[in-house]
Chain A
Amino acid sequence: MIRFENVSVTYDGAAGPTVRDVDLTVPEGELVLLAGPSGVGKSTLLGTVSGLVPHFTGGTLRGRVTVAGRDTRTHKPRELADVVGTVGQDPLSHFVTDTVEEELAYGMESLGLPPAVMRRRVEETLDLLGLAALRDRPIATLSGGQQQRVAIGSVLTPHPRVLVLDEPTSALDPAAAEEVLAVLLRLVHDLGTTVLLAEHRLERVLQYADQVALLPSPGAAPLLGAPADIMAVSPVFPPVVSLGRLAGWSPLPLTVRDARRRAADLRERLTEADHADSGDRADHTGPGDRADHADHADRADHTGPTDRRDRTDHTNPADRADPETSVDPEDPADPADHANPKDPADRADDVDRSLPPAPAPPRPRFSPFRRRPRPSAPSAPSALTTAVAPVATAAPTTPVAAVEARALSVRRARVQALREVDLTVRAGETVALMGRNGAGKSTLLNTFVGLVEPSAGTVRVGGLVPHRTPPRELVRRAGLVPQEPRDLLYADTVAAECAAADRDAGAAPGTCRALVSDLLPGITDDTHPRDLSEGQRLTLALAVVLTARPPLLLLDEPTRGLDYAAKARLVAVLRGLAAAGHAIVLATHDVELAAELAHRVVLLAEGEVIADGPTAEVVVSSPSFAPQVTKILAPQKWLTVAQVREALRREALR
């Protein structure tokens, strides 16, 4: 149905081709998943199918792409509109009209179909996608999942034979993602539509794919094959495959169900391992603790949020030690390690070790010991250490809450966004906020940084009322990385961005740049923030926020558009920050991320807290929020592959 013959695409001004020598055939009626790390040209390849690459984007396409026998060289996108339906990453930028029904009809109007046919197909599509109740609704009032379904419906009505989707589920909560995928599956089964889709969250789509096309690295030729075969060699894989590889199952399981049926002996082994060390693990709740514990059993108690007795109260300047002691004398701070981003797991350990539970040094604002400017050369001691160490706020016995909300309610435009929310996050604690699109997660985060004023109840961030605190003051208490990290970045080079961040935060010049070099090695000063990848941009925004050293760090949907490697790096960085005493609150749809990071999970529904407890307890009891490993190994409470690997390793040693 779709044939790529020796396709290479080179954008204008690019040094080399974005995709090279792609030779692929996507057979009719199959659902083919295009997988691969960020930046290998998945979106470009998808664009060539609809003809938008190169007709719309510019650049040079070598080779030939044919769709249903039509050559995209001679057919413009509008002339392919009747055979190819394309849905991009952001459904909102796809809509031309205001209401659902008109949007569904738009494509057919352009093709000039007779009114009677249009009417029939609109009704059919409304039923097929379960949109009948929404037919007259303005599109702007729909939820993310509904919008995504409307976007798919709007390209379905002209009855295209090929559907091309770029990350159709990345912005959706787990339930909405299931909804969209069920629709795609139905199209493939009932209408014989050929579907080509790219997705980072393989755990959501892998089980539905007939074949996987893997782009292993930029410029490498793609591999097409059965999902199990491709997953055996793929650099990107979901947790179920990771567990399968760990347990040595062959062929690899692709679904939770497959894996469960094979996991009987693994569960047995883990039970033994669990019994063996249940004694010394009793007091740990967070998954991060579990993993850490294995590596550094001697310092495990430092990571517990309530156990930090050795920190001084930051409100008392007299108690503070010299700032230089914040750099652990034993810090390995091996520059080679920091410069080497290849193994996120190693980095995680490295960051962990370099972040000692040091006494809190003064904040520059109140202190006579103003921090000296640090050289930004990579040989300097980890800038991360200096940035994150000084945030400890725990008092000797009663830990100070980084943020405390009491009976918090927010009403906006006749909608009750939050209802009587009680939430306390202590220093060193990582909390994941979960819930469906529109449940109030972002509103809650915005309330913490004073962007939204509560209509009832109280919020205190480090003792201050956020919406009455001047921004310059507030950035030292709480930092938010918004859903679109680009919003935080104004300058046209990384260096200028960093200089501005230092000024905004009142930090010593070079602070932000040192953080960037640490979190994101290999970024040159003159890079434009727009040219960074999604993950790099997020990390830059994170560095900008961290420049003010806020004890409370908030992240809104941090893993949208990140591949597994970028996600692992983010996890490592955030673990390090939590260990150094930052309180972290993440709003996320990514259950795997929550399982990796969070000590606590708070579930929101319609603005109310419906569950609040340790990650293991909350997610295990929920079918849609349980990570794959939990589902596979239930009733045992394992959350991540790393935990399982650790338990097995320790069992083997014994």
Chain B
Amino acid sequence: MADGRMADGRPRTPRTALHPAAWWLWALGLGTAATRTTNPLLLGLLLTVSAYVVTTCRPDTPWSRSYSAFLKLALAVLVIRLVFVVALGSPIPGTQVLVTLPEVPLPDWAQGIRLGGAVTAEGLLFALYDGLKLATLLVCVGAANALASPSRLLKTLPGALYETGVAVVVALTFAPNLIADVHRLRAARRLRGRPDTGLRGLLQVGLPVLEGALERSVALAAAMDARGYGRTADVPAPVRRTTAALTLGGLLGVCAGTYGLLTAAGGSYGLPVLFAGVLAALAGLRLGGRRSPRTRYRPDRWTPRACLTAASGAAVAALLTVAASSDPAALHPGVVPLTAPALPLWPAAAVLLGLLPAFLHKEPS
């Protein structure tokens, strides 16, 4: 284990792992790129890139198994999109009729809605492209989840938000525990001789599950309290007042700035006020951190690898955005008339940039 890898060659968490924010930036970059195109070849390439990086870099934690769940969800989205097109028809005018379903006659007030009827190849293809875009976005979020769990991301919050962060982390672990409880109690229903499936069964275990979850939360709160959670340091009164003023003022500034940006009249002052508000709020948070005596054990660092990982994701997003405006035809292949999508060369090369983390992660053996 000296090289920090599991027996099967996967890296162990979290010491060799990158800063979680780097992974999230990379994945969101890929996701943004996916929203810029409907070209199935490019989307497929994006999917392959993210899948390759996930399989080479994901740590061996329970969280990392969520990737397959996201894949299934994406597939479900795609299928639902296609089923809707088949059943409800498509606004795309098509000529290549694949099959004609019996059409259900609808009353006048339901004008514009169609049930059944002709299913065209163009309509199906358009739905496929569109669904694939959404599915790719979902898979990218899944990749971020698998590579760095949201709870690790929350740990990088500034000191003043630490306690809120812990509350969110605890809430996040609450859900998997709740599911485990439901399974256990449904099993127990079977032991009592009641059917363990069906909605009724689920409803009847609801109360005991909530009771159990509540009890566990209280036990956890007691344990955290006994381990020093929420200890505060004494802060001089002026600092406290300044913190309050900065935070409140900052939030007001953010509100006013946003309002200014959205209304036509406030175009001139909107941006500066928003900017000042954000600055003041950040300063307030930083000062507020003094109240908490906490220190960090081996915090995640922004290593060069982390920066490169985040940058590669951002580059993919930026390059595809540029490509989408300069060459819209290649990134959005037409469906009327039916044409085979071509792989635009330089956007494809841009997508391949997203593979960088997989090579960065390979450690010298």
Listed in ascending order, the chain A residues whose CB lies under 8 Å from chain B are 50-52, 55-57, 76-82, 84, 86, 88, 90, 93-96, 98-99, 101-102, 105-115, 118-119, 122, 133, 136, 138, 140-141, 154-155, 158, 446, 449-451, 470-472, 474-476, 479-480, 482, 484, 487-488, 490, 500-501, 504-505, 544-545, 548
Whether A111 pairs with B293 at a CB distance below 8 angstroms is yes
Chain A residues with Cβ below 8 Å from B196 are 471
Report B-chain residues with C-beta under 8 Å of the C-beta of A140. Answer: 62
Q: Which of B62, B151, B190, B228 contacts A158 (CB under 8 A)?
A: B228
23 contacts between A and B (CB under 8 A): A52-B226, A78-B226, A80-B226, A86-B223, A88-B222, A88-B223, A96-B227, A99-B14, A102-B14, A110-B228, A110-B229, A110-B230, A115-B297, A115-B298, A449-B190, A449-B191, A471-B191, A474-B190, A475-B191, A490-B204, A490-B205, A490-B207, A545-B191
Q: Known contacts being A109-B296, A111-B293, A115-B295, is A78 close to B230, with CB within 8 Å?
A: yes
Q: Residues of B contacting A108 with CB < 8 Å? A: 295, 297
B276 CB → nearest A CB, Å:
33
Cβ of B327 within 8 Å of any chain A Cβ, yes or no, is no
Is A504 within 8 A of B226, CB to CB?
no
Q: How far is the CA of A158 from the CA of B188 in the complex (A)?
A: 41
The 8 Å CB contact of B228, one of A95, A107, A484, A488, is A107
Flag whether B72 is at the interface (Cβ < 8 A): no
Q: Which of B185, B190, B224 contacts A451 (CB 8 A)?
A: B190
B15 in the interface (beta carbon within 8 A): yes
Distance of A474 Cα from B191 Cα, bound (Å): 8
Complex interface: chain B residues within 8 A of A82 (CB): 228
The answer to whether A114 and B295 have CB atoms under 8 Å apart is: yes
> Which of B216, B220, B226, B293 has the largest count of A CB atoms less than 10 A from its CB?
B226
Restricting to B43-75, which residues have a CB under 8 Å from any CB of A? 61-62
Cα of A101 to Cα of B12 in the assembled complex, Å = 13
Please state if B194 and A504 are interface contacts (CB–CB under 8 Å): yes
B87 to chain A, nearest CB (A): 36
Q: Are B193 and A93 in contact (CB under 8 A)?
A: no
Q: Give CA–CA (A505, B191) in the complex, Å.
A: 10
Residues of A within 8 A of B207 (CB): 490
B216 and A93 form a contact (CB under 8 A): yes
Closest Cβ neighbor of B65 among chain A residues:
A413
Residues of A close to B229: CB separation below 8 A: 78, 96, 110
Give the one of B1, B13, B151 with max A CB within 10 A. B13
Q: Which of B185, B188, B190, B223 contacts A450 (CB 8 A)?
A: B190
CA distance A449 to B196 in the complex (A): 13
Residues on B with beta carbons closer than 8 Å to the beta carbon of A487: 184-185, 187-188, 208
In the complex, B3 has a CB within 8 A of chain A: no
CB of B295 within 8 A of CB of A94, answer no
Instruction: Report the separation of the CA atoms of residues A479 and B193 in the bound assembly, to the nearest whole angstrom.
Output: 9
Contact B191 A138 (CB under 8 A): no
| Nearest CB on A from B307, distance (A) | 22
User: Are the CB atoms of B220 and A488 closer together than 8 Å?
Assistant: no
Are A119 and B195 in contact (CB-based, < 8 A)?
Answer: no
Question: Which residue among B207, B224, B233 has the maximum number of chain A CB atoms within 10 Å of its CB?
Answer: B224
By a CB distance below 8 angstroms, the chain A residues around B195 are 470-472
| Docked-complex contact B193 and A96, CB < 8 angstroms | no
Residue B225 interfacial (CB < 8 Å)? yes
Q: In the complex the two chains form, is B228's CB within 8 Å of A93's CB?
A: no
Residues on B facing A (Cβ under 8 Å): 1, 12-15, 61-62, 149, 151, 166, 170, 184-185, 187-196, 204-205, 207-208, 216, 219-231, 233, 293-298
Q: Is the CB of A154 within 8 A of B227?
A: yes
- In the complex, the 4 A-B pairs of residues with the closest C-beta atoms, listed nearest first: A81-B228, A110-B228, A105-B297, A475-B193
Contact B223 A138 (CB under 8 A): no
Count A-B contacts at CB 8 Å. 160
Distance in Å: Cβ of A494 to nearest Cβ of chain B: 15
Complex-state Cα separation, A86 to B151, whole angstroms = 25
* Cα A98 to Cα B20 with chains together (Å): 15
The answer for the CA separation of A238 and B221 in the assembled complex, in Å, is 35
Q: Does B227 lie within 8 Å of A136, measured CB to CB?
A: no
Is A112 a contact of B188 with CB atoms below 8 Å? no
With A451-B190, A487-B184 already in contact, the answer to whether A112 and B293 are too (CB < 8 A) is yes
Q: Within 8 Å CB of A505, what residues of B?
A: 193
Across-interface contacts of A158 in B (CB, < 8 A)? 228
- Are A107 and B204 in contact (CB-based, < 8 A)? no
**Known A109-B294, A138-B61, A154-B227; 14 more pairs at CB < 8 Å:** A82-B228, A93-B216, A96-B170, A105-B297, A109-B295, A110-B227, A110-B228, A110-B294, A112-B231, A115-B298, A140-B62, A451-B187, A470-B195, A471-B193
Give the complex CA separation of A474 and B192 in angstroms: 9
A124 CB to nearest B CB, Å: 14
Chain B nearest CB, measured from A323 CB (Å) = 21
Inter-chain contact A84/B226, CB cutoff 8 Å: yes
> How far is it, in angstroms, between the C-alpha of A110 and the C-alpha of B229 when the chains are bound?
6
A480 to nearest B CB, angstroms? Answer: 5
B224 surroundings in chain A (CB, below 8 A)? 96
Please measure, in the bound complex, the distance between the C-alpha atom of A505 and the C-alpha atom of B294, giving whole angstroms: 56
Smallest beta-carbon distance B330→chain A, Å: 43
Query: What is the chain B residue whose CB lies nearest that of A446?
Result: B187
Given contacts A475-B191, A544-B192, contact A490 B208 (CB under 8 A): yes
Question: Within the assembled complex, what's the spacing in Å between the Cα atoms of A644 and B227?
Answer: 48
Chain A contacts of B149 at CB under 8 A?
98
Q: Chain A: which residue is nearest B212 at the CB level?
A: A486
> Which chain B residues border A112 with CB–CB below 8 Å?
231, 233, 293-295
Q: Shortest beta-carbon distance, B347 to chain A, in Å?
A: 39
Measured in the bound complex, the distance between the Cα atoms of B151 and A138 in whole Å is 13
CB distance from B59 to the nearest CB of A (A): 9
The residues of B that contact A105 with a CB separation of less than 8 Å are: 297-298
Asked if residues A56 and B222 are in contact (CB atoms below 8 Å), the reply is yes
Is the CB–CB distance between B15 and A136 below 8 Å?
Answer: yes
- List B contacts of A86 (CB < 8 A): 223, 226
Residues from chain A with Cβ under 8 Å of B190 in the complex: 449-451, 471, 474
Whole-angstrom distance from the CB of B252 to the nearest CB of chain A?
32
Contact, CB under 8 Å: B13 / A136: yes
A569 to chain B, nearest CB (A): 22
A77 to B220, CA, bound (A): 14
B149 — nearest CB in chain A belongs to which residue? A98
* Given A471-B196, A475-B192, A111-B231 contact (CB < 8 Å): yes
Q: Looking at the assembled complex, report how far the CB atom of A506 sits from the nearest CB atom of chain B, in whole angstroms.
A: 8
Contact of A96 with B166 in the complex, beta carbons under 8 Å: yes
Q: In the complex, what's the smallest C-beta–C-beta distance from A214 to chain B, in angstroms?
A: 26
- Which residue in chain A gives the minimum CB-CB distance to B151? A98
Q: Specify which chain A residues have a CB less than 8 angstroms from the CB of B223 in the assembled complex.
A: 86, 88, 93-96
A98 to B13 alpha-carbon distance, docked (Å): 11
For residue B9, give the distance in angstroms from its CB to the closest CB of chain A.
15
A118 contacts B1, C-beta separation under 8 Å: no
Whether A482 contacts B188 by the Cβ 8 Å rule is yes
The chain A residue with its CB closest to the CB of B176 is A140
Q: B193 contacts which chain A residues (CB < 8 A)?
A: 471-472, 474-476, 504-505, 548
Residues of A with C-beta under 8 A to B230: 78, 110
A489 → B minimal CB distance (Å): 8
Provide the bound-state CA to CA distance between A136 and B3, in Å. Answer: 13
The residue on B at minimum CB distance from A530 is B211
- Provide the residues of chain B in CB contact with A76, threshold 8 Å: 225
The answer to whether A109 and B191 have CB atoms under 8 Å apart is no
Taking a contact as CB atoms under 8 Å apart, the answer to whether B298 and A119 are in contact is: yes
Closest-by-CB residue of B relative to A505 is B193
Separation of A647 and B157 alpha carbons in the complex (Å): 70
Let me know if B228 and A136 touch, CB within 8 A. Answer: no
- Looking at the assembled complex, report how far the CB atom of B83 sits from the nearest CB atom of chain A, in whole angstroms: 31
A86-B226, A90-B219, A99-B13 known; A122 vs B191 contact (CB < 8 Å): no
A339 to chain B, nearest CB (A): 28
Among B15, B170, B204, B228, find the residue whose CB has the most chain A CB atoms closer than 10 A.
B228
A555, chain B: closest CB distance, angstroms:
12
Are A56 and B225 within 8 A (Cβ)? yes
Residues of B within 8 A of A78 (CB): 225-231
Residues of B close to A80: CB separation below 8 A? 226
Count chain B CB atoms within 10 A of each CB in A79, A81, A82, A84 and give the residue with the most.
A81
